[in-house]
Structure 1
């Protein structure tokens, strides 16, 4: 048995999807509750029917952001080399 952790937003989506599948909600009402367009609600509903309760869990969880800045470690070394006038020697050494 695998444990899946869900945020509050994902839990509320799950409740709405359960109500939608059971017929207590319409697609339009579910979209209004979730703040999504009809098409996105249908996409989520299809995923819920195929994957079950794990469907609303973000697939991006645990990965780094696309907007994450690269490590400054290499950049700092380059700046230090330029500051001390050693960059040209370093470049020549590493290209040979």
Structure 2
């Protein structure tokens, strides 16, 4: 964490805690403005006094999670998707990676890796069917209705 960039929320906290240090507000007044309890407000103030603005930033900022997929495996998946398994969808690719390559990765993980690399799942998308709309009648309720059947529905009373 060399260069520190504070979020808007952290900048607001910094302003309020400076107000507490300058005795413009008591911690009881500042805690609701900070969106925390009074006790947590004192903790934030102690961290600010000890570490400065860096004390307001989350301590995990800038760290990689321990369960992240290693960069080498991500590069291997992208290379295989481009070369050997070209034009295979993400679900099938994750299954083939487990069977043939020994890389057991979940489908969402494979998808995330490939989407970050700019590779979307190959999907055949058909254009939507064209629908021609009927011409509107000049007045509401004037819909032309025809009977196209060949037999006499109304017997001798008309139609057909």
Q: TM-score, normalising length from structure 1?
A: 0.64
Residues in 2 aligned to 1:20 and 1:3: alpha-carbon distance in whole angstroms: 26
Alignment match, 1:22: 22
Instruction: Deviation per CA, 1:32-79: give whole Å up to 9, x if none.
Output: 00110011100001111111222212211122458x775796x6432x
1:39 aligns with 2:46: no
Residues in 2 aligned to 1:25 and 1:52: alpha-carbon distance in whole angstroms: 19
> Structure 2 unaligned runs (5+)?
78-93, 101-160
Alignment match, 1:60: 60
Residues in 1 aligned to 2:35 and 2:14: alpha-carbon distance in whole angstroms: 14
Residues in 1 aligned to 2:13 and 2:26: alpha-carbon distance in whole angstroms: 14
* Runs of 4+ off more than 4 Å: 68-73
Q: Cα RMSD over matched residues?
A: 2.6
Alignment match, 1:9: 9
Alignment match, 2:118: none
Residues in 1 aligned to 2:65 and 2:30: alpha-carbon distance in whole angstroms: 29
Residues in 2 aligned to 1:5 and 1:69: alpha-carbon distance in whole angstroms: 24
Q: TM-score, normalising length from structure 2?
A: 0.41
Aligned length: 77
Name whichever structure is richer in helix by fraction.
Answer: 1
Alignment match, 1:93: none
Residues in 2 aligned to 1:3 and 1:65: alpha-carbon distance in whole angstroms: 20
Query: Structure 1's 39 and 69: CA in aligned 2 closer, same or farther, altered over 3 A?
Result: same
Q: Which has the larger radius of gyration?
A: 2
